[in-house]
Amino acid sequence: MESVYDLVVIGAGPAGEKGAARAAYFGKRVAIVDSNPRPGGIAVSIAGIPTKTLREGAIYLSGLGQSANLLPAPSAQDPWRLLMARKLEVSEFMTKTVERNLVRHGIEQICGRARLLLGRRVEVERPGGERTMLQAE
């Protein structure tokens, strides 16, 4: 059975999320497909946000930065543990923000690997191997 949408977005990273939300804002029925069950893409999970958080934490702990709300005082016993905990905290916050945005706009989230087919169709292979067909208008 095919599910029909006005728009099928492949990839729930920053660009995919913004494009899907924009279409949904204008009343379109939208699905977003990503192989990761948690939206946000590489930028939120392992690249942009986490690396910037680690960088800022290292600057703060080295005494070069004066951020009042980033981490506890630089005299902390285990700075590596603090940095990693902060990185996970920020990444989790950003992932939840993306999830809330998708839910708020009524965007259907589909976990799986997408493959473009002819006729505006998208085949999605879910983690268990089940295949789903999506039709985009």
Q: At what angle do helices 79-104 and 48-61 cross, to 10 degrees?
A: 140
How many percent of the chain have pLDDT more than 70? 89
Tens of pLDDT along 66-119?
A: 555 555 555 556 778 888 888 899 999 999 999 999 999 999 999 999 999 999
Q: What does pTM read for this prediction?
A: 0.79
> Domains in the chain, please, with CATH?
2-136 (3.50.50.60)
Q: Sign of the C-alpha dihedral, residues 22, 5, 93, 90? A: negative
Tens of pLDDT along 26-62?
A: 999 999 999 998 898 888 877 888 888 888 888 877 7
Name 121's Cβ contacts closer than 8 Å, sequence gap at least 6.
Answer: 2, 133, 134, 135, 136
Rounded CA-CA distance 70/100 in Å is 24
Sheet strand arrangement including 131-136? 2-5, 131-136, 121-125, 113-117
